[in-house]
């Protein structure tokens, strides 16, 4: 499982939604599927929360990774 942190309470996210790359950082193109939100949980800080994400890939089965520029 992946953990997304520092999610503002004003963000509209819910269980079952797909998480994708935004393309904003310039490293990864927009639209690569990361996974699916399983749960959204509040923190002690009322201004943020976090989400558990089920990865789209089973990392235990990944044997080869190619980096293409």
User: CATH number for the domain including 20?
Assistant: 2.40.10.350
Give pLDDT, residue 47: 78
Q: Which domain holds residue 15?
A: 2-61
Question: Does residue 67 form part of some domain?
Answer: no
Residue 61, helix vs strand vs coil: helix
Question: Does residue 18 form part of some domain?
Answer: yes
Tens digits of pLDDT across the chain (69 residues): 999 998 888 889 999 999 999 999 888 899 999 999 999 998 887 778 999 999 999 989 988 888 777
Question: Does residue 66 form part of some domain?
Answer: no
Question: Does residue 26 form part of some domain?
Answer: yes
How many domains, in total, are found in the chain? 1
Taking every pair of C-alpha atoms in the chain, what is the biggest distance, in angstroms? 42
Q: Are 6 and 60 in contact (CB under 8 A)?
A: no
Give pLDDT, residue 39: 96
Question: Does residue 46 form part of some domain?
Answer: yes
């Amino acid at each position: 499982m992946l953990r997304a942190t520092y999610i503002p309470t004003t963000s509209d996210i819910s269980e079952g939604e797909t998480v994708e790359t935004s393309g904003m950082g310039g490293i990864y193109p927009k639209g690569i599927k990361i996974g699916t939100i399983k749960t959204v949980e509040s923190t002690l800080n009322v201004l943020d929360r976090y989400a558990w994400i089920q990865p789209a890939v089973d990392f235990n089965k990944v044997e080869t990774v190619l980096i293409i520029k």
